[in-house]
Amino acid sequence: MEITLTLNVEDVNLVITALAELPFKVSCNLIGKVRDQASAQLEPTE
């Protein structure tokens, strides 16, 4: 099951910062997913 959240860039950065405070083995996969999805949305379109 997946959910969709709508967050502004500042909120996403705050979530990543908070996840970075957790042990790496706990948070690394989720940080990667958030960054991948955010990067795909921030790429300029032509």
The reply to whether 38 falls in a domain is: yes
Asked if residue 31 lies in contact with residue 23, where contact means CB atoms within 8 angstroms, the answer is: no
In this prediction the pTM is: 0.79
The reply to whether 14 falls in a domain is: yes
The reply to whether 35 falls in a domain is: yes
Domain count, the chain: 1
8-31: pLDDT as tens digits: 999 999 999 999 999 999 999 999
The reply to whether 4 falls in a domain is: no
Token couple for 14: 């705050």
Asked if residue 20 lies in contact with residue 31, where contact means CB atoms within 8 angstroms, the answer is: yes
The reply to whether 2 falls in a domain is: no
Q: How far is CA 38 from the centre of its chain?
A: 6
In this predicted structure, the answer to whether residue 45 has a pLDDT above a threshold of 90 is no
The reply to whether 20 falls in a domain is: yes
Domain of 36 in residue numbering reads as 9-42
d(CA 43, CA 18): 24
